[in-house]
Amino acid sequence: MTRARIGIIGCGNISDIYLKNLTASDKVEVIAVADADLSRARMRAEQYSLPHAYSVEELLADPNVDIVVNLTIPKAHAEISLRALEAGKHVYGEKPLAVTLEEGARVLEVAKAKGLRVACAPETFLGGGIQSCRKLIDDGAIGTPVAATGFMMGGGHESWHPDPGFYYEVGGGPMYDMGPYYLTAFVTLLGPIRRVTGSAVITHEERTIKSEPKRGQKIRVETPTHIAGVIDFASGAVGTLITSFDIPAGAGLPPIEIYGTAGTLRVPDPNNFGGEIQLRRAGSREWETMPLTHELTNNNRGIGVIDMAEAIAEGRPHRANGEMAYHVLEAMHGFHIASQQDRHYQMASSCEQPAAMKEQA
């Protein structure tokens, strides 16, 4: 198979792990990086011995780039993805797909019109943790799933991130930042969502940065920082998801549990690729630690890009697809809309449950 040629736009913190993994892969070839700050692109190009450090315009104009990996900040996701599609490139983007539903829909429309593919993080659902849980559920280990819970509860990013302001802008907050991991895991394990409702609040209207180099600067909070959501899946299962930046002491709740007619499954943190899986069967008081049946247990960011490149070559659907990313984006907006309007939000979109990964040998 001819290796897909990758160009990365956005050379911030997250680009390092993508570059580490993608440059080590024999399935793709990273040929260029770009950033609005050209010095950052040059730094990454030198760090990974890449041939080109481009401006964004130069990368989009390079006919040798097959797939653009869009690692910009959330409010730029749709703009950069649309520009890449207009330039004839497939796109893999960091989550969320876009800030607004209108932008997300436009990305999918342009891709369809041009016969191009869109993929989107998170790709952690392709890891050994979530995929092993998928096999347990598919094999009937917990019977018929009837309910699920997800908890992401902690303090805000101002305590550690070097530039945390965008986490509190419109399109940020704990739901848009971390919700994609949980909702993508839910869709992978339980299928698409029918409707949602929720409550969302801004607990502190201002945050003080505690990390360097902006320590002491103030952040005006524009988006809810504690969201409690309820999910009705098309399958009939009911889910609960809480995401919060307002709990600095943390919590002792499991990231995800799935409850079935024959057992309960403790699912690893969906922000990671591996993790411990525990199963308690109906009638038992003991938790069993279950073996991982799938590979990819390290920080394998970039595997979604590789899966899309292989899918293009093989003519099959890619797993971290734009339709699922849009479905997740709509659910996240749905929680906020339901809270604002005191109602259930009926989902307009749906998606296919992504195909399970092959078991490890």
Residues with Cβ < 8 Å from 173, sequence gap 6 or more? 167, 223, 224, 225, 227, 243, 245
- At 27 the pLDDT is 95
- At 1 the pLDDT is 56
Residue 104, token pair as written in the block: 């997300």
Q: Is the pLDDT of residue 361 over 70?
A: no
Question: At residue 149, what is the residue type?
Answer: T
pLDDT, one tens digit per residue, over 25-48 is 999 999 999 999 999 999 999 999
CA atoms within 13 A on the CB side of 115: 1
Q: Is the pLDDT of residue 12 over 70?
A: yes
Q: How far apart are CA 109 and CA 130, in angstroms?
A: 30
- At 295 the pLDDT is 83
Instruction: Provide the Cα torsion 328, 240, 298, 155; round to 10°.
Output: 100
pLDDT, one tens digit per residue, over 188-214 is 999 999 999 999 999 999 999 999 999
> pTM of the entire structure?
0.95
Mean pLDDT score of the chain, rounded to an integer? 96
Question: At residue 217, what is the residue type?
Answer: Q
pLDDT, one tens digit per residue, over 227-245 is 999 999 999 999 999 999 9
What percent of the chain is modeled with pLDDT above 90? 94
Q: How many residues does the chain have?
A: 361
Residue 121 burial (CB count, 10 A): 26
Contact (Cβ atoms closer than 8 angstroms) between residue 246 and residue 202? no
Instruction: Break the chain down into helix, strand, coil percent, rounded to 5.
Output: 35, 25, 40
Q: Is the pLDDT of residue 149 over 70?
A: yes
Residue 337 to residues 179, 192, 200, 332, 345, Cα–Cα distance (Å):
15, 19, 9, 9, 7
Q: How far apart are CA 254 and CA 302, in angstroms?
A: 26
Angle at 305 between CA 157 and CA 356, to 5 degrees: 95
Q: How far apart are CA 220 and CA 198, in angstroms?
A: 23
Q: Is the pLDDT of residue 2 over 90?
A: no
Beta bridge partners of 264: 259, 280
- By CB atoms closer than 10 A (0-12, 13-18, 19+), residue 106 is middle
